[in-house]
A and B are shown apart, each in its own frame.
Chain A
Amino acid sequence: MSSTTEQQIRAEVYRSKLPALPGDRVFSGLDHTFTTTAWSIATWLFVMGAWQGFAAPLHLAIIATLFGCTVPLLGQSLLGKYFARWGVDVAYGARATFGPRGTKLIVGLFGIIPAWCWISIPAIMFGKAVNIILGARGITGFITNEFLWAVLCMALGLFITYKGPIWVKWSVRFATPVMLILIAIITWRMLTEWGLSNILAIRPEGLNPNPYISFIIAIEMAIGLGVSWLFQFACYGRICKSESGAFYGTFIGWGILWAVLAIPAMFVALVVGAEDIIQGLVIIGGGWVLLYLGLLVIANPSSLATNGYLIALTLRNFFPKVPWWATVGVSMIVLALVASEWAYNQFATFVIALATVLLSFAAVWVLDVLLKRFNVDIKELYDETSKGAYWYYGGINWWVLLAVAIGATISFLIWNPLTQTIHIEGIFRVLGGSIPGAAVAAVAYYIFYRLFLLPNKKGIPPIPRA
């Protein structure tokens, strides 16, 4: 094999459906944690933290965020272990549970489209931050245009995406430690300015007239965030050197660290009543806004790069004839969202609505993987014909969709996150809406699995061994 061909193959492993062999595994557990942490640290982290601060006092907001962001990842991070074991992308690995057509439907609808909405937020907020900072310095004109800076931010992030995960790995080895230090400095400055006891004493208006309901809504928002990663465990997990590195990389970076790093945004929401951390730093004055801008210059493009890779890789596997540059570049579509600001203004509703559906999907998917003991027939994952072992019924595992529909319906019957109307307050006050829905979805799928899938060996082929 020529070296040129070998290089092409290596590049294709990171850009296509090829399963990653041991020699292709370039991510240690630390690299994976750095990547997911860099993915977390962006404006979305601060916006989410601020919404928690609007919903509940500091101590309750921290409790809600730590629980909601971390505990859902306990099960979901097992998907990281699964993808590390098999080295395949979500477009193929998810077929064992959803079927080939089901994967395109579910991952496309609940993975790609929400990911596009997500990546519009750092770009929007980067543009806004630059605009505010330049305005505060008395600078005017085209150079302060928010859209211009949003485009630049997006382009820088997608350039790293285009270069692939090795570039991502080296970028985050620099970016993540720097960002952690900058956030620690900003947090320290806020605490010295405002005082922890003063912040703790603040009671926000809340997202509901009843402060307890507002606290539960904060938990629901955090759960929504915690399950928003559901279709994202494969893109870096598949190139991890160990299964535990894939597991803990996501559990720490997307879970615990997200919750902890969102705390300074809670300070700003409580003290200043603003959802953008920069508003608080403007009040503090001095050069702190410039420090924050420095943080955003690193944070938002690195988040766009890590998230953009997920989108590009999945799209390339759905549409193999499309070249890599096109699947990366198509994410510039979100510029339409950037221009309209729709995604940003709908942020909290978007996150909560996601929770009601995605937590049920997560429960069913993880249960299916556990029932199959992380085993798949890797050749069958690539068989898209009706003879394939994972074809189920017409290419879709309808039992998954039925179980999720039941779970999501239960969630909506308890409370409607779109209108924030609580229908069954007794349950909502104790368990929220998405957790009972997910539990019912899991039980329903287990029954379907035992009654219909297992006896007919649907999606359960014999597993070849080495």
Chain B
Amino acid sequence: MSETKPEDTRQIRDSELQRRLDIYNKECKPGSDDSPIKPMRFKQFLPALIISIILTLYVIFGMLVVFPASYPGY
């Protein structure tokens, strides 16, 4: 790219896109352990999974226990 040549935004964007697509896998190493963008592993997913299971049990508890206690007769 020239130092001084005026380039419009679109030209810059399109030429930069090709450069980035060429190097993305090499530079980002998507999903690999040595990627600079830290990958997320299953054990990191576990807290969200546990919270979701607890909340699912919570809503079942709401349907089976809390609701009948709040509205006797329904």
What residues of chain A have their CB less than 8 Å away from a CB belonging to chain B?
Answer: 1-2, 5, 8-9, 12, 16-19, 21-22, 25, 57, 59-60, 63-64, 66-67, 70-71, 74, 77, 81, 84-87, 203, 210-212, 215, 219, 240-244, 247-248, 251, 256, 320-321, 323, 374-375, 378-379, 382, 430, 464-466
Contacts and interface: CB of A to CB of B under 8 A. Distances in A.
A321 B9 CA distance: 10
A12 B30 contact: no
Contacts of A5: 1, 7, 12
B33 interface: no
Contacts of B20: 18-19, 21
A300 to B, nearest CB: 28
Contacts of A242: 37-38, 40
A208 B36 CA distance: 53
B28 A22 contact: yes
A378 B21 contact: yes
A311 B20 CA distance: 24
Given A19-B20, A25-B37, A215-B67, A374 B31 contact: yes
Contacts of B74: 210-212
Nearest to B34: A466
4 tightest Cβ-Cβ pairs between the two chains A and B: A243-B40, A242-B38, A63-B62, A22-B36
A77 B67 CA distance: 30
B21 A21 contact: no
B7 A22 contact: no
A81 B24 contact: no
Contact of A70 (B21, B28, B55): B55
8 contacts: A19-B17, A59-B70, A60-B66, A70-B51, A70-B52, A77-B48, A251-B48, A382-B17
Contacts of A375: 30-31
A244 B28 contact: no
Contacts of B21: 19, 378-379, 382
A12 B9 contact: yes
Nearest to B40: A243
A106 B71 CA distance: 42
A256 B54 CA distance: 13
Interface string B15-29: 011001101111111
A374 B74 CA distance: 46
A12 B37 contact: no
A320 B17 CA distance: 13
A386 B29 CA distance: 28
A8 B9 contact: yes
Given A12-B12, A67-B62, A243-B38, 5 more contacts: A22-B27, A25-B37, A63-B59, A70-B52, A251-B48
Contact of A87 (B24, B31, B44): B24
A16 B37 contact: no
Contact of A9 (B16, B25, B44): B16
Nearest to B26: A466
Contacts of A70: 51-52, 55
A466 B25 contact: yes
Nearest to B74: A212
Nearest to B30: A85
A74 B38 contact: no
B66 A321 contact: no
A247 B37 contact: no
Nearest to B71: A211
Contacts of B31: 85, 374-375
Nearest to A57: B70
Contacts of B59: 63-64, 67, 219
Contacts of A22: 27-28, 36-37
Contacts of A60: 62, 66-67, 70
Contacts of B44: 244, 247
A360 B71 CA distance: 32
B1 to A, nearest CB: 5
Given A63-B58, A382-B21, A466-B25, A16 B52 contact: no
